[in-house]
Structure 1
Amino acid sequence: MDPLAPLLELSEVADALENARANVDRMLWHEALRSGDELVATEVALHSASATLALDGYDCDVERLRDRDFDDPVVSGVLRVSEALPGLAAVWAISPRFVLAKLHLLATRDFRDAGSGFEPGRIEVDQSGSMRINALCALITNPTKEIPAAMAAAVVHGELLAVQPFPVANNVIARAAARLALASKGLDPKLLITVDAGHLERQPEYVGAQRAWSTGTPDGVRSWLKHYGKALEAGAAETLQICTELMKDVG
């Protein structure tokens, strides 16, 4: 039995995750994705980078990212991470620790003022944190089919936010790793869900649910998992909007 399977018994969690999956399935049938999804994926990467920056207090819209109109190392790092995800999706289920280090290196390699002991890509946690990271990696590399992909992604996201394995950029890494979990579990294999925009749309809930997850209580865990389902729905709706706009441009 999957150790996460009991979480599906929490009130409203299974329904929230199933609703999210149904909305994603509908999104994937959009006409813009039938003739080729490369352009959509490129736009999703930009929108996701803009949203994750906004969640961390940075104002850098999609057009500025598209035009490379910025000189902030944080912005550069987030865009590198977003653009690198397709090449890391296949590695995630095999070597998540390597991928986490790679994501952190991409996010922070231009940081010049993080301190003399700062080493991009190095996980720095206490014994308790190390045990949780080890347990998380074991869940990723030894998957079962008993839990939805959305739950797997939510657990990855929540645990990385709770453990804070790096000195900086943990929020960026957690959101990116969760997207890789969605890809590797088959819900979003081509990284087309703009899930970070879904978190941004529900930002107060996102922040509160993060804290709730960290408590480890059934109510806290339920709050986070329900939020994740709603964020996926909102992210799928954002992708549909991107598809609609691209169809207008083509037409």
Structure 2
Amino acid sequence: MSRRSAAFVAPTLLEGAILDPLSTEGKKHAKLLLSTLQEDIARFRDAHFPPDILRQVRDMPIYEGNLAEVQTYQQGWQALIDRAMAFYPSAYLPPDYLPLPASLEIPQFVYHVQRLHLTKTRAKESKSFGSVGAVIDKCGDYTPQEITRMSAIFEANDEARLVAHREFIDLRAYVFCRDNKGEMLEPERLRFYRTGLIVHALPNFKIVDSRQTPRKRRNDAYSNPLADNGEWKIYRKK
């Protein structure tokens, strides 16, 4: 199963005072705390990643070790993980077990791993917009003719939306773990390249590397873009 990330929740406390997370003061407070956390993560990561007590998997930012080694390395990160959990309190909790966002660049830790399957997949990033100005702000410049075509969509229907697609090669790891009874679980499909992946490897740990044969992306439901600047293609959202 592919995993999104846990939802952000703005903190409500500032030196003992209750703040409205949606107020101007509350938003400034959350932004300051999150920025401080990101700076602390960057400093710690620069000093401690890649981990010197674990073994690298191929040429990937994936590192494996036994239970004691992985627990020791995670302990070094734990204070930062706990701080991040204050912003993302649903992270790793049932029923979805969603991870912290990759933008924090905290490594993902997975235990009881029997097998890793490394893949490349042709994929696309997608963004949705309610105005032409928002498209240009996020996706870059387009020709006057393309801007006219996009503008016509909103002139015909002010509730219409545009969607932007950008293709990329997505590196993923299918992680096969065993439960407490030793039974193999359904694999988790993880994007790991930005965060790094730390795995507790079980005996007879196996790696399957399929990166040389990228999987084909599924047929796109969108065709004939309204605009294309060489990076982002713009369509009317269906």
TM-score computed with the length of structure 2 as normaliser: 0.24
The structure that has the greater radius of gyration is: 2
TM-score by length of 1: 0.23
Q: Which has the higher strand share?
A: 2
User: Quick one: higher RCO (CA 8 Å, sep 6+), 1 or 2?
Assistant: 1
